[in-house]
Structure 1
C-alpha cells in the first residue's frame, strides 16, 4: 500500500477469486518469487512534497507529478470533459503548452484532430509527437523531440496498445526523455494505455487476445495499474487472480471518469466527474485480495 489510507476514507473489501474462471495465459507467476513482473524496475525516486501548488510557480521547484486517467476525456466523451479542463488547470498557466503522444493508437489522425480541437478550445498551445505520420504544422519533429518535450507544461498520452507504444518509445529513446521531463516538473498525464504506461506494470489487452495480462511498463510509479476498472468485470477478476499468483504487484485500479494524481511516487488526490466513479488500491494478503475504495473529489461542478 502506498502511504496512510485513512486520509482517503477507504473501505476495505476482501475478495476471493475463482482461478478456474480466469482465461489461461492471462497471468504469469514470477520465476524468482518476487512480487511483480520479472525484471520490473525498482522505483528510483523518493516521494516529493504533497503540496498541490503548481511546481513551476515556485522558484527552484520541480515537483514530479503524474495524472493517471482510468477512462474519459476528449477521446471518449462527445462534450467538453471536466478532466481535460482539470489538466489545463494543473499547469497553472494561462496558455499552457501541451503535447499529445498518440503512439498507442498508431498516431491515428482522428485522435490527433480531437486532441488539438479539445485543448485548443481550452486556450492551450497544442502540439503532438507522431512516429507513424508525416509531420504537419502542429508537430514536434522526431529529430528534435527531447528539447521540445522539455519545454512543455504537460505531456498527455492517449489510449490504445500499451505494449506497442512502449516498444516504439524504447526504440527511439523517448522513455528516457519522459523520465527526464517528469523529473524537471513537466506534468505527465494519460488515459487508459496512457495511464498504465507510467507504472511498473499494467493489466492490458495489448497482446490481442481475449485475456488481460500483466505488462512491464516504464516504472516511474511503483506497483501496477488497471484502467476502465468497473466497466468490465473481467478486469477485476483477472487483476485479483494475477495478484494471487504474484504476477503483478499491489495496484491502483481506476474507473472510467476517474483519475489519480501522484506527487512524487505517492497518491496525492483522486478526482471524479461522474457519480460512483473512483479508484481502488488492491493487494494480496494471505491469499486474499483486499480491495480498497478511495474517496474521490468531484470536479464536474
Structure 2
C-alpha cells in the first residue's frame, strides 16, 4: 500500500464533463489518486456505485475517464451479488476506492449486510485511499444529512464512524440541506462537523483534517458547531465558520484526441 497514512478524501465532486468524451476525472478524484503515491505502475482504482444501485450505464463512462487519467480501474458491485470472489482481497489490492453518490441509507445497509463496513476500515488502515462524493463522502463520518428518505432532508446518525463528527453536502446548491443540517446539529441529533459546497473536499490523515480543497475558487467548506448561545436568528443553536479551500490545478491531459496534448 502506498498512502503515507490512513487517508480519506470526502467531497462534493467526482467526474466532470469532458470536452470530447462524456466525462473525465475531476480534480478531486485526481487528487485522491495522487495521495496514493503510486510510482512505477498505473494506479489501481475501484469505483463503488452501491448508493446508486450499481447501475451499469455509468460504468463505461467511469472506465473511459479512468483510462484518460492513466488509471487501471474497475468496479465493485454488490447487486445482485458481489462481482468478485473475494471482496476483501480485491479492496486490499487497490490504491483508491472511489464511492459515488446516491442513497446513503441504502449504501450503509447493503455494506453492513455484506460485512463491507469492516473491510473498508481494514483497507483504510492498510493504506488504501478511501474517497468519494456526496453519499460517498457522508458514509465515512459519524453521521450526516441526506435525501435518502425522500424529498425532505433527514439526519442519519449512524455512519461508518471512521471519521469523527458529521458532514453535510450540496450546501450551496440545495438550501433545504443547509437548513436541515443546521437544525440537526443544533438539536444534538448530529455532532459538530463540516459541510461542503459543490466541488469542495476534505482531506483526512487518520482522523485529522489536514487540508480543504476545491475544484474552482469561490466555493467553501463550513465548520458547523452546536452553539446554544448563538444570537444569529438565521441559525439558532448553531455556529458556522467559513473555510476557504486551496484551489486544485488539474494536470490531466486533454480528452480531445485531435488536440496537441492528446
TM over 0.5: yes
How far off is 1:109 after superposition? Answer: 1.1
CA distance in 2: counterparts of 1:276 and 1:148, whole angstroms: 38
| CA displacement 1:205-242 (0-9 Å, x = unmatched) | 11124233334110000010111111111111111111
1:67 aligns with 2:9: yes
Of 209, 221, 226 in structure 2, the residue corresponding to residue 284 of structure 1 is 226
The alignment of Structure 1 onto Structure 2 pairs a total of residues equal to: 236
Alpha carbons 1:231, 1:255 under 8 Å: kept: yes
Specify every segment of 5 or more residues in structure 1 that has no aligned partner in the other structure, as ranges: 1-54
Task: Return the offset for 1:84.
Answer: 2.5
Match of 2:249 in 1: 300
Post-superposition shift, 1:287? 4.3
- Contact 2:14–2:132 (8 Å) recurs in 1: no
Q: Which moved more, 1:155-164 or 1:105-114?
A: 105-114
Aligned to 1:115: 62
- List per-residue Cα deviations over 1:22-63 (Å, max 9, x = no partner): xxxxxxxxxxxxxxxxxxxxxxxxxxxxxxxxx727xxx6x1
SS of the aligned residue for 1:223 comes to: strand
* Alpha carbons of structure 1 residues 192 and 203: separation in structure 2 relative to 1, 3 Å: same
The two structures have a TM-score, normalised by structure 2, of 0.84
Runs (5+) with no aligned partner, structure 2: 231-237, 251-262
Question: What is the alpha-carbon distance in structure 1 between the residues aligned to residue 151 and residue 66 of structure 2?
Answer: 33
**Which of residues 195, 202, 207 is equivalent to 2:137?**
195
Deviation at 1:110, TM superposition (A): 2.1
Structure 1 runs (4+) deviating above 6 angstroms are: none
Task: Specify which of 52, 70, 84 is matched with residue 29 of structure 2.
Answer: 84
Q: Is the 8 A contact 1:163 1:215 kept in 2?
A: no
Moved more, 119-128 or 184-193: 119-128
Structure 1 contact 98–125 (Cα < 8 Å) conserved: yes
Corresponding residue of 1:129: 76
Change (3 A) 1:195 1:256: same
In 2, Cα distance between the equivalents of 1:270 and 1:259?
6
Q: Residue 50 of structure 2 aligns with which residue?
A: 103
**1:56 aligned partner:** 2
The correspondence of residues 17-28 of structure 1 with structure 2, limited to 5 A, is none
Distance in 1 of aligned mates of 2:153 and 2:170: 15
Question: 5 Å matches for 1:137-286?
Answer: 141=84, 143-286=85-228
For residues 195 and 43 of structure 2, what CA distance do their matches in structure 1 show? Answer: 29
TM-score by length of 1: 0.74
Alpha-carbon contact 2:167-2:193 (below 8 Å) kept:
yes
Q: Using the alignment, how far apart are the partners of 1:276 and 1:156 within structure 2? A: 25
Higher relative contact order (CA 8 A, sep 6+): 1
Distance in 1 separating the partners of 2:153 and 2:245: 29
Name the CA distance, whole Å, in 2 between partners of 1:230 and 1:170. 31
Q: SS at the partner of 1:216?
A: coil
* RMSD (CA atoms): 1.8
**Pairwise CA distance, 1:134:** 7.4
Q: For 1:231, what is the secondary structure of its paired residue?
A: coil
